[in-house]
Amino acid sequence: MKTRALRIHGKNDLRLETFDLPEIAADEILADIWTDSVCMSSHKLAIQGNDHKRVVGDLAVRPTIIGHEFCGTILKVGGKYRGKFTEGQKYSIQPAMNYPGRELEAPGYSFPHIGGSATTIIIPREIMEMECLLPYDGRAFYQASLSEPVSCIVGAFKTSYHWKPGTYEHLMGIVPGGSLALLAGAGPMGLGAVDYALHGPSRPGILVVTDIDQARLDRAAAVFTPAHAKTCGVDLRYVNTAAGKAVEALRSQTGGRGFDDVYVFAPVAALIEQAGGIAGVNCCINFFAGPSKADFSAGVNFYDVHYSGHHIVGSSGGNTDDMRESLALMAKGSLNPSVMITHIGGLDCAADTVMRLPKIPGGKKLIYTKINMPLTAIDDFEKLGANNPLLRELARISGKNGNLWSPEAEEYLLKHAEIVDPR
């Protein structure tokens, strides 16, 4: 069985290649992939190569398929799992499998035959043993792809904690009805966090979203309006902190008392220090953004740690239960991951997209692995559609859905684009 896949061979060395997959074993599953959303973690892997903590062995000798936010259908089930999984079944993968003794290994980093940027893969026994292959019954492939980043947000909300005064008991999660700030929160993961804060099981009373890019804030405010937030019981405010005196401006949003929870969505030292400046008593600062440099550091006010109970947690990825919750909330329509997507492309543009990801504006970049298509912003569909019937129709479909990607748009794309599959 041949596959077409984007493999990493070393630092800044991504290659789109066609090669043969071996026959599956009894404890493996053969599957195809239709969608893979590009994560900043894949960019970090691309620039770090063998130095990345999740890489196993030498990439020059044992290249791996990049990408870990993917969805597809099962093609063939090994004998051990027949009856539990069936051919033609849609699936999603929880890449944070936490295999005993090999906790850092994950699809998209550590395995030669499984990763998101491919047409066909082999799901290995480790994924099966850890029950990280999750059936998916939804309409669109892309929604299950985005269940992985959404699960990271769910996990982050569960990672934060506080304590009841006078006790040593940790109360997990954000403060219900409290004040929550999402710093640099108008990007794709920030928007996912806004969605979860408004429509998830635990909601703040005040939600402040900051950014230094007014265009990003304007898009966020159009997607999640303060008026809609009020119907969810949340006072939602967007604040541009580019002008300076951000700490003073943000503390004023809480009447000077500071925030109960602060999330940091960009690995910027000044932003982390800003989080400390706006934290209230018993505040949990959640450093969500993963840095690419191992020596990344920022200043911490230990006076506030001691006397005001400031504490810092870091969250990286969700677990399988978080992904199940994400899939369930999306199936119910409570969460809409479409708000995270701003660009669509084919597998032929995946390497360039991964390498240039920090420099490409907008939110999530969604790759359809069985087509060739330049990376294209949804906002550009209408303009480019003047000479491209496919994009013209996608512009029409997206336009009636608030200029967001949708299951209808995916179905039209896969029906009318040329499918490229070497098998």
Q: What is the pLDDT of residues 276-310, one digit of tens each?
A: 999 999 999 999 988 888 899 999 999 999 999 99
Give the per-residue pLDDT at 171: 95
Tens of pLDDT, residue by residue over 311-327, are 999 987 788 899 999 98
Q: What percent of the chain has pLDDT over 70?
A: 100
pLDDT at 293: 85
Domain end (from 314, 345, 370): 314
Confidence of residue 232 (pLDDT cuts 50, 70, 90): very high
Name the domain boundary from 251, 283, 314: 314
In a domain, 324, yes or no: no
Question: 342 and 266 in one domain?
Answer: no
Mean pLDDT of the chain: 95
* Domain count along the chain: 2
Region of 373 (left: φ > 0; alpha: ψ -120 to 50; beta: rest) is: beta
The pLDDT, as a whole number, for residue 118 is 98
- The pLDDT value recorded for residue 317 is 78
What gap in Å lies between CA 247 and CA 376, rounded to an integer?
37
DSSP state of 371: B
Share of the chain above pLDDT 90, in %: 91
Same domain, 17 and 117: yes
Q: Are residues 407 and 296 in the same domain?
A: no
Point out the least confidently predicted range of 5-19, 310-324, 377-391. 310-324
> What is the pTM assigned to this prediction?
0.88
Q: 398 lies in a domain?
A: yes
3 state SS of 258: coil
Q: Closest Cα to residue 313, out of 158, 200, 180?
A: 158
Give the strand pairing for 206-211 and 235-240.
parallel
| Domain co-membership, 83 together with 29 | yes
Domain boundary among 280, 314, 348: 314
DSSP 117: S
pLDDT over 90 at 24, yes or no: yes
Question: Which domain does 299 fall in, by range?
Answer: 150-314
pLDDT at 291: 87
pLDDT confidence of 255, banded at 50, 70, 90? Answer: very high
Q: Do 154 and 138 reside in the same domain of the chain?
A: no
Q: Which of 340, 343, 327, 406 is nearest to 378 (CA)?
A: 343
Residue 209 and residue 343 in one domain: no
Report if residue 237 sits inside a domain. Answer: yes
pLDDT digits (tens, 9 = 90+) for 72-96: 999 999 999 999 999 999 999 999 9
Could you tell me the CATH number of the domain that includes residue 92? 3.90.180.10
In a domain, 331, yes or no: no
Summarize the chain as % helix, strand, coil (round to 5).
35, 25, 40
Record the tokens describing residue 196, joined without a space.
């979860």
**Regarding predicted confidence, which is higher, 423 or 172?**
172
- Strands of the sheet with 206-211, listed across from one edge: 235-240, 206-211, 179-183, 259-264, 279-287, 311-314
157 in the same domain as 232: yes
**pLDDT tens, residue by residue, 154-197:** 999 999 999 988 899 999 999 999 999 999 999 999 999 999 99
Question: Does some domain include residue 46?
Answer: yes
With respect to residue 421, please indicate whether it lies within any of the assigned structural domains.
no
Q: Do 341 and 307 sit in the same domain of this protein?
A: no
pLDDT at position 186, please?
95
Closest CA to 37 of 244, 345, 258: 345
Question: pLDDT at position 206, please?
Answer: 98
Quick one: DSSP state of residue 276? Answer: H
Instruction: Dump pLDDT digits (tens) for 31-79.
Output: 999 999 999 999 999 999 999 999 999 999 999 999 999 999 999 999 9
**Listed residue (413, 369, 420) closest to 5, CA to CA:** 369
Question: Does one domain contain both 98 and 45?
Answer: yes
Q: Are residues 44 and 158 in the same domain?
A: no
pLDDT score, position 123: 98
Q: Please tell me whether residues 238 and 309 are part of one structural domain.
A: yes
Distance of alpha carbon 61 from the chain centroid = 29
Domain identity same for 169 and 141: no
Identify whether 91 is part of a domain.
Answer: yes
Q: What would the two tokens of residue 258 be?
A: 């500071």
In angstroms, the first-to-last Cα distance of the chain is 6
pLDDT of 423 above 90: no
**pLDDT at site 222:** 93
CATH number at residue 233: 3.40.50.720
- pLDDT single digits (tens) 118-140: 999 999 999 999 999 999 988 89
330 within some domain: no
- Which H helix or E strand runs over 399? helix 389-399
